[in-house]
Structure 1
């Protein structure tokens, strides 16, 4: 599993009645994007170090258009 800062992690509960959780990855411990991750959970805003299990998946954040060459931003006065 690989992630980057800004990606979302979604954890689907495997036990009956377990709630689904999601959060934003705000920190990495390894430059290759492997676990563990520092995650800010959306349900309570807490930040925890998280080691994903088989019930977790990563939703990779993408900019609107990563393939287009960057262009300068023009600001009107």
Structure 2
């Protein structure tokens, strides 16, 4: 998995009733866009994550 600063991250809930989480990647700490990623989530929390198979990277729009 590779990402850049500004990409959106979408973590799908792993069980029934577990909400999805979305946020923006604010820092890429791995080499060549690899994890871990520092993410600012929509609810205001910030966390360092190593994305799993339930995670999708949504690339930022290039103009």
Please identify which structure carries the higher helix content.
2
Q: TM-score, normalised by structure 1?
A: 0.77
- Structure with the greater alpha carbon radius of gyration: 1
Q: When the two structures are aligned, how many residues end up with a matched partner?
A: 63
Instruction: Name which structure has the greater RCO, CA cutoff 8 Å, separation 6+.
Output: 2
Please identify which structure carries the higher strand content.
2
Q: 4+ residue runs of structure 1 moved beyond 4 angstroms? A: none
Which runs of 5 or more residues in structure 1 are unaligned? Answer: 65-77
Which runs of 5 or more residues in structure 2 are unaligned? Answer: none
